[in-house]
Structure 1
Amino acid sequence: MTTVGLLYPGHAAEDDFPRIEILLDTDIRLPLFATDPGEDACHPGALRERGAPGRIAEGIEELRLAGAEALVWASTGGSFGYGWEGAHEQVATLARTAGLPASSTSIGFAHAVRELGARRVAVAAPYSEDVTGLLAQFLASAGVEAVGAASGGAASSAEAGSWGPERVKRLALEADDPDAEAVLIPGTSLHTAAYIPELEEALGKPVLTGNQVTVWEGLRLTDRRIWAPTLGTLFSTREPVPGSLEPKGIEVRE
């Protein structure tokens, strides 16, 4: 059995993770602890507060007792809101506190894009334009160019969590660009696990979504590769592009 512990801010689309467990149909377990998100808003200040060390450390002991072999901070905005270096400092602190390999959804997106061998992407984000711009800057720090973007303008995670597949698909089609090699749909507050292949068919290219990437990143930390086409191209690649991935985990220095 492989157990990936998830620290998830509040309540919006956390029911995607039990669905992903079912779709994987293996011995993978995804125990989740809902942290206190503070203000449920999508402006930069609220996103940084959501990722404060004290908040994301809340459920560590509970997830350790659940047998977690790695931890993922399951928030996109609550990690890229700190910038590239700040996001890495955030998960390094998490790893030191937990004594386990750790990462976040935002860092997972950078790894997942590299896994697909892509360099140019479109970003279909539920956020306001200024927050989507912060994500584009974060991706640029990872060597990934956002050649297309669309912002859904959701005021809160709760609002984004209420969006259905058609609204998400429209946003993705609006964001797409002919030069984009993949479409990113960030935001772990969006329900996407049930229809990723449908999105990929509509767009004609790989799609990476917040909750899908969160699970993939956790499995990457545990050296577990899973064949699960129902979760899209990311779970259908046999081997990573040579040299595309960074070393697994976060080195913990005492």
Structure 2
Amino acid sequence: MRGTLTIFKRELAGYFATPVAYVFLIIFLMLAGVFTWQIGGYYDVGQADLRGFFSFHPWLYLALIPALSMRLWAEERRSGTIELLMTLPISTANAVVGKFLAAWAFTGVALALTATNWLSVNYLGDPDNGVILASYIGSFLMAGAFLGLGSMLSSITKNQISAFVLTFSVSLLFVLAGFPAVTDAVSGWAPDVLTESVRNLSFLFHFDAITRGVVDARDALYFLSLIALSLFATAIIIDLKKAD
């Protein structure tokens, strides 16, 4: 636990020591504002809620989180600092979890800064704050799932661009799996159980369920299980790379 906390503090401080973190935050907040008030059509809907804002979160994360996660391990391997990291009195699991939690916490900071939108809709109307809170929880869990995949795929390569492309591509599959066009195509030739399995793999399917206002244990468990499996795979990959 101490090793995880050490890595967490080191990585989180590292985010704010570079301008990349502030560029990420600015872009994230700008896009969040555009999605809420412009593209989301808040004023056109005539209802005080943040559905438009949250409906774009999977796409926002799809574009931005690969850029955040690509440096988790790819940069360590490229620069050779992974060898130095592994000489510290910590396990591979400590390093993997610590780096992931730092990235997740940083994403949480970005998400928390969008709370001004929440305050605004409360000023402009009378929204269902329980639904908004559930949506924030769902968004945070989904961000963790994106980061888990990003951590795993970043550990495969030394090239950050390759890590970005891999994470974007795999994450896109997890997002699109819940689209009606995809499930309809699968249902045309596959049994119902396979169609349902494809749908259950989708980030959209579980996130949309949470944004209705209920954080169902099954939806939360889906994201947490994906995070755990991704980090477990990351640790195995890093150990294998050390043996090379």
Normalising by structure 1, report the TM-score: 0.34
Larger radius of gyration: 2
* Greater relative contact order (CA < 8 Å, ≥ 6 in sequence): 2
Task: Judging by fraction of residues, say which structure has more helix.
Answer: 2
